[in-house]
């Protein structure tokens, strides 16, 4: 009996080639696109190009080209609750969210896998650049980095559980981006040269503060910029407009560069510091997920990343309790931000990770 695969298609080249490779492996493939929001929901004008509608059309045409069925699933309510609202709450609470991780965790690899099971599909397929392997000796599924280090997306997949890894296929993990575009060209796919999306999908212009104010209908009061000793340096324009490590866009005339160190919600203050004060050696994470093991029984050496674009750094990790990791780096790291993910690696494999406290 042929295995049935449900392929999450964004309309981009990666998921389109993933669909081709899945079918080429002999799966009974079906393409789907997740309808996550309407233009009006995110403050976009109707007449403005709507990436979601364009992408749906591109995905549909790719499926027609590949000769596989195509459907659109409406996940707007779940996306609003688990991604957009979490994004807004994080900024309001002074932390820095990672909505792509939330989307993977709550939508693509939770709600979508449940939908696939309800429809008797054997697995869900995405165009992420990473690989899933099964270790017979350990009886565990493992998450491995992509062979294309410039496109590796293992960082945003650390939250996958054993159940989800067992139900997921990632065909692009052994391909480079260049090879993926080459395959799309050879197939004559409409999106072979389509640019990769760079921004958060529901904030296409990258202006997070404007989106939050428009979406919530709320305004966020001005307050003081202060240094680490409490001296007032000027006035900020609302606490949601600033992130840890930020230098540009402060609107201050200062004698030397200063950076956002933290935000005090109680006093509505944004604390600024010199660059050398942004560095710290340790952090704690909550809401952890471990992949290579059920529990870290003793401190172990790992490589760790505290943001998507950062290289891995040497560290020691210790599990404090069922939901807390303590990570100590060999060297101080710059601008560790509450709300971002700390992801741990052992060579090419993802050990696990959690949300920075």
Catalytic residues: 103, 201
Q: What is the CB-side half-sphere exposure of residue 118 using CA atoms within 13 A?
A: 6
**How far apart, in whole angstroms, are the C-alpha atoms of residue 20 and residue 113?**
20
How many angstroms separate the first and last alpha carbons of the chain? Answer: 47
Burial of 51 from C-beta contacts in 10 A (0-12 / 13-18 / 19+): middle
127 is in an annotated binding site: yes
Query: Would the annotation count 12 as a binding residue?
Result: yes
Q: Which residues contact 287 (CB under 8 A, 6 or more apart)?
A: 323, 354, 355
Of the candidates 257, 231, 235, the residue with the CA atom closest to the CA atom of residue 246: 257
209 among annotated binding-site residues: no
Token pair, residue 86, equals: 């979490």
Annotated binding residue 9 = yes
The answer to the question of whether 339 is labelled as a binding residue is no
Residues 6+ apart with CB under 8 A from 245: 259, 260, 278, 334, 335, 337
| Cα 187 to the center of its chain, rounded Å | 29
Burial of 39 (0-12, 13-18, 19+ CB in 10 A): middle
Flag whether 34 is marked binding.
yes
d(CA 244, CA 93): 13
Residue 11 annotated as binding? Answer: yes
Annotated binding residues: 8-15, 34, 127
Annotated binding residues for ATP: 8-15, 34, 127
């Amino acid at each position: 009996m042929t295995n049935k695969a449900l392929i999450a298609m964004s309309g981009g080249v990666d998921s389109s080639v993933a669909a081709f490779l899945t079918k080429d492996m002999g799966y009974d493939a079906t393409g789907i696109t997740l309808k996550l929001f309407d233009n009006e929901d995110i403050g976009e004008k109707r007449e403005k190009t709507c990436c979601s509608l364009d992408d749906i059309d591109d995905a549909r045409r790719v499926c027609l080209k590949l000769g596989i069925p195509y459907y659109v699933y409406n996940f707007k309510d779940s996306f609003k609750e688990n991604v957009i609202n979490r994004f807004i709450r994080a900024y309001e609470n002074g932390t820095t969210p990672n909505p792509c991780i939330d989307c993977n965790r709550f939508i693509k690899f939770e709600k979508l896998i449940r939908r696939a099971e309800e429809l008797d599909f054997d697995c869900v397929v995405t165009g992420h650049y990473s690989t899933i392997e099964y270790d017979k000796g350990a009886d565990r599924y493992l998450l491995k980095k992509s062979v294309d280090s410039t496109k590796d997306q293992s960082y945003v997949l650390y939250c996958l559980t054993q159940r989800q890894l067992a139900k997921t296929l990632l065909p692009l993990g052994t391909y480079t981006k260049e090879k993926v575009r080459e395959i799309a060209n050879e197939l004559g796919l409409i999106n072979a040269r389509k640019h990769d999306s760079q921004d958060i999908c529901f904030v296409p212009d990258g202006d997070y503060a404007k989106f939050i104010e428009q979406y919530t209908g709320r305004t966020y009061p001005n307050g003081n910029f202060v240094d680490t000793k409490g001296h007032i340096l000027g006035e900020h324009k609302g606490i949601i407009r600033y992130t840890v490590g930020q230098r540009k866009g402060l609107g201050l005339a200062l004698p030397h560069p200063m950076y956002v160190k933290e935000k005090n919600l109680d006093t509505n203050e944004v604390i600024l510091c010199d660059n050398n004060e942004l560095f710290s050696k340790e952090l704690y994470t909550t809401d952890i997920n471990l992949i290579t093991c059920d529990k870290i029984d003793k401190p172990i050496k790992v490589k760790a990343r505290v943001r998507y674009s950062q290289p891995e750094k040497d560290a020691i990790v210790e599990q404090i309790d069922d939901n807390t990791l303590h990570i100590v780096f060999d060297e101080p790291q710059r601008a560790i931000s509450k709300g971002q993910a700390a992801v741990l690696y052992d060579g090419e494999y993802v050990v696990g990770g959690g949300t920075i406290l």
